[in-house]
Chains A and B, each alone.
Chain A
Amino acid sequence: MRGFDGNGAGVGLGDLNNDGLIEIVLASQVGEASVFWNQGQLRFEREALPTEGTKAVALVDVDADGWLDITFTHNNSYPSYWRNQNGRFVQQRLEGVRHPAFVFLWDDLLGRGRLDLVTASYDPILEAENRDGFLFGRGAGVFLYEAGPQGYTEQRLYPKAFALGLVAFDADLDGQRDLIVGNDFDLPDMAWRWDDGTWQQFQPFRQFSKHPMGFALGDIQNDGVPELFSTDMKPDFRDLKTLATWMPLLERGYKKFRTQGPQKTENMLQVRQAQGFRNMAYALGLDATGWSWSAKFGDLDSDGWQDLYVVNGMMDIEQFPYLPGGELIEENRVFRNQRGRFEHQPDWKLGSKRSARGMSMADLDNDGDLDIVVNNLSSPAQLFENRLCGHPTLEVELRWPQSQNTRAIGAAVILHSNGWRQWRQVTATSGYLSGDAPRLHFALPQEEGWLEVVWPDGKRSWQAARAGQLLTLIRRETP
């Protein structure tokens, strides 16, 4: 394993056959991607998809027919689309989408009731694979593809990108979500906001991760306001054995820079405060989780507070020639949220050391708690069944069948219960290269509460909620 091969691939979750059970799709950078059909009780049947070199994966209803389709990015090509025809997949073109993409984001950014696509390339791979062709080709960068009846209309937001993460998040606090691209290496992260009918670039945070590998959205304080977590590469200074393996890398990294900048090589948690956002990762002990990739918030112990799971590891014989197989072995880390404070929770047995990359969470056995799927590099993927005890739970899906955004991607759902406001968002992608199921999970300590739904176009609706339900909220209006 050398160079960018160590970047691995993602995992996507979603109910592909509308039977109420969530399927797993594993991308694979060397072989075929796999669909694991959920047979119930955590039994799965594998089906290979004749794909090549897939990286990110997201399960979204691209054609608005009510069935989740499968979309992938690739190392050196434009995104591919596998249309779901009653549980059978046919590869089709995303008309108008023609630029290489490493990461992508499906979202209804402007609340128009349609799914736009944002893509960003990882130019070092394109340069390594295409050499001169990269210089003279159409290049890459950050693209926004707006969906229309004749396909997608492209808008190039920036001519280059070293993107590993992409997220929609209201970073300027104007009530509308902005686009944030997390770039690797020296290219600064970038953000755009919708302003005066165009996408304008702006600087969202005072401090941000230098090499954001992925983004996770969550509400760690139950105040109904989301926080943004980004993963990076910072070793745990307590563990000298692991720190020693990082030394050549740290030496090279530190010597590269002549001045300090707002970017730091560590995980960051952007928390909204009176004067804007403040990075709270260090204060909460979340800044150093190793060479981290996917991270997601989820209420794993169903206590009403969103925990954080971060997966780790790296393989590169050129970076780590002194380690067996060139592998930097680091365990995944889970942090239990205790009313806004985080505590490393090794006894949850999620500390796998299999060089994880993609990771996603959903209730795969419909028992009301969140299970976890991890796509590892060079070793089998893992499914962690959740056996933690917690409060009663509620799961929510949104439908907007009259729109082109049938799963209401971009909607926020806030559960008002127990004096808390648990915020969740329907997202198609998050973490690193990974897709989310459009099903939201809440704990309900008092067994009932009220759900406030903020649909992608800003319209609000309310619904009483009781524990033990899988609630599907349908909006009948056209956008």
Chain B
Amino acid sequence: MSPTPPRSLAGLLSFRVYRELLLLLGALGLVLAGVGVYGAGLPVWGGTLVFLGVVAVPVGLKWWDDFRCLGAAAFVLSALLMLQGFHFLEHTVQMVQYYLLNRPPILSQGLISSLNVEWVHFLWNVFVLSMVIFLLRRGLRGFWGWALLGWTTAHTLEHAYLLLRYLQLQAELGALGLSGFQVAQALPGILGRDGWLAENNLCTGVPGLTTLPRVAIHFLWNLGETGLLVLAAHTQLARLIQPR
């Protein structure tokens, strides 16, 4: 059965015929993750991966339908909105851990903390940037589309700088015969506390730009990215859907 072309983002993101399957497997995933974490002593990130693994089935089926029925651009947009939404949720959880639960940064790493490493951040941002460029080529233009491209590029540059610093630090650690430090994954970047701007006394008058901790800086990066993606998608949705 071919779905009716969606007229809104809610329609695009709807699981349609897979809604019941998603609810069922989502509930099962939560139970399994809960048993894993509280019963079998799995870390929280392990439980999260169990949950994501179970719900991957209806998500995969939905995406296949999107691709088949609405075209590649709509599929990419749908997938990107969901993945970036989950990524933003991860950063929101970090903010809750840091500011509301008052945890130190090393314990404010979100739900899949084991993936909170510089390589993953960098590759994820390159992936998002590539998808945004793809969508722009397929019609996601207009003010919000170009703003999204600028924001995503800047965010990727920040992660490129972080990765470069991380690799340089790894080289210095290697020279000392040391390796495997979690804190090495948490260096300051261009923005925020102890970042490049702060160290060079640039933009010190802009509130937060040289003072916010890394957890808040990356929350804001992703808040901007998600917001611009939603706005761009909302305004240009019709141009991206190619019903077959």
Choose from B105, B183, B184, B199 the contact partner of A238 (Cβ within 8 Å). Answer: B199
Choose from B165, B183, B201 the contact partner of A240 (Cβ within 8 Å). Answer: B165
Contact B204 A283 (CB under 8 A): yes
Q: A244-B176, A244-B178, A251-B181 are in contact. Are A258 and B107 (CB under 8 A)?
A: yes
Please report which residues of chain A, range 411-425, place their CB below 8 angstroms from some CB of chain B when the two chains form the complex. none
Contact B169 A244 (CB under 8 A): yes
Q: How far is the CA of A241 from the CA of B175 in the complex (A)?
A: 9
Contacts of A240 in B (CB 8 A): 165, 168-169, 172
Contact A250 B183 (CB under 8 A): yes
Contacts of A285 in B (CB 8 A): 201
Q: A237-B199, A282-B193 are in contact. Are A248 and B103 (CB under 8 A)?
A: no
Contact A254 B178 (CB under 8 A): no
Contacts of A282 in B (CB 8 A): 193, 211
Contacts of B175 in A (CB 8 A): 244
Contact B172 A260 (CB under 8 A): no
Cβ-closest chain B residue relative to A239 = B172
**B102 in the interface, Cβ–Cβ < 8 Å?**
yes
Contacts of B184 in A (CB 8 A): 247
Contact A260 B199 (CB under 8 A): no
**A322 in the interface, Cβ–Cβ < 8 Å?**
yes
Interchain nearest-CB distance for B187 vs A (Å): 7
Please report which residues of chain B, range 100-124, place their CB below 8 angstroms from some CB of chain A when the two chains form the complex. 102-107
**A243 in the interface, Cβ–Cβ < 8 Å?**
yes
What class of interface size applies to chain A in its complex with B? 20 to 34
Contact B181 A258 (CB under 8 A): no
**B173 in the interface, Cβ–Cβ < 8 Å?**
yes
Q: How far is the CA of A394 from the CA of B104 in the complex (A)?
A: 49
Contact B176 A323 (CB under 8 A): yes
**B194 in the interface, Cβ–Cβ < 8 Å?**
yes
B184-226 to A contact mask, C-beta < 8 Å, 1/0: 1001100001100001010010000001000000000000000
**A288 in the interface, Cβ–Cβ < 8 Å?**
yes
Give the size of the chain B interface in residues (CB under 8 angstroms): 28
Q: How far is the CA of A352 from the CA of B193 in the complex (A)?
A: 28
Contacts of A476 in B (CB 8 A): none
Contact A322 B104 (CB under 8 A): no
**A136 in the interface, Cβ–Cβ < 8 Å?**
no
Cβ-closest chain A residue relative to B101 = A259
Interchain nearest-CB distance for B110 vs A (Å): 16
Q: A260-B104, A282-B211, A323-B176 are in contact. Are A247 and B199 (CB under 8 A)?
A: no
Contact A322 B178 (CB under 8 A): yes
Interchain nearest-CB distance for A328 vs B (Å): 12
**A245 in the interface, Cβ–Cβ < 8 Å?**
yes
A5-48 to B contact mask, C-beta < 8 Å, 1/0: 00000000000000000000000000000000000000000000
Interchain nearest-CB distance for B220 vs A (Å): 19
Contact B199 A243 (CB under 8 A): no
Instruction: Find the residue from B177, B194, B201 having the highest chain A CB count within 10 A.
Output: B194
Contacts of A241 in B (CB 8 A): 172
Interchain nearest-CB distance for B76 vs A (Å): 38
Cβ-closest chain B residue relative to A320 = B176
Please report which residues of chain B, range 8-61, place their CB below 8 angstroms from some CB of chain A when the two chains form the complex. none
Interchain nearest-CB distance for B139 vs A (Å): 43
Q: How far is the CA of A46 from the CA of B104 in the complex (A)?
A: 50
Q: How far is the CA of A54 from the CA of B194 in the complex (A)?
A: 38
Cβ-closest chain A residue relative to B166 = A240
A281-303 to B contact mask, C-beta < 8 Å, 1/0: 01101001000000000000000
A94-117 to B contact mask, C-beta < 8 Å, 1/0: 000000000000000000000000
Contacts of A247 in B (CB 8 A): 169, 173, 178, 181, 183-184
Contacts of A257 in B (CB 8 A): 104
**A459 in the interface, Cβ–Cβ < 8 Å?**
no
Contact B173 A244 (CB under 8 A): yes
Q: How far is the CA of A203 from the CA of B18 in the complex (A)?
A: 58
Contacts of B178 in A (CB 8 A): 244, 247-248, 322
Q: How far is the CA of A285 from the CA of B193 in the complex (A)?
A: 11
Interchain nearest-CB distance for B22 vs A (Å): 36
Contacts of A259 in B (CB 8 A): 102-104
Q: 6 more A-B contacts (CB under 8 A) besides A244-B175, A260-B102?
A: A240-B168, A251-B183, A260-B103, A282-B211, A283-B211, A323-B176
Give 24 A-B contacts (CB < 8 Å), ordered by A residue: A237-B188, A237-B194, A240-B168, A240-B169, A241-B172, A244-B169, A244-B175, A244-B178, A247-B184, A248-B178, A251-B181, A251-B182, A254-B104, A254-B105, A254-B182, A255-B182, A259-B102, A259-B104, A260-B98, A260-B104, A282-B193, A282-B211, A283-B204, A322-B178
Chain B residues at the A interface, C-beta cutoff of 8 Å: 98, 102-107, 165, 168-169, 172-173, 175-178, 181-184, 187-188, 193-194, 199, 201, 204, 211
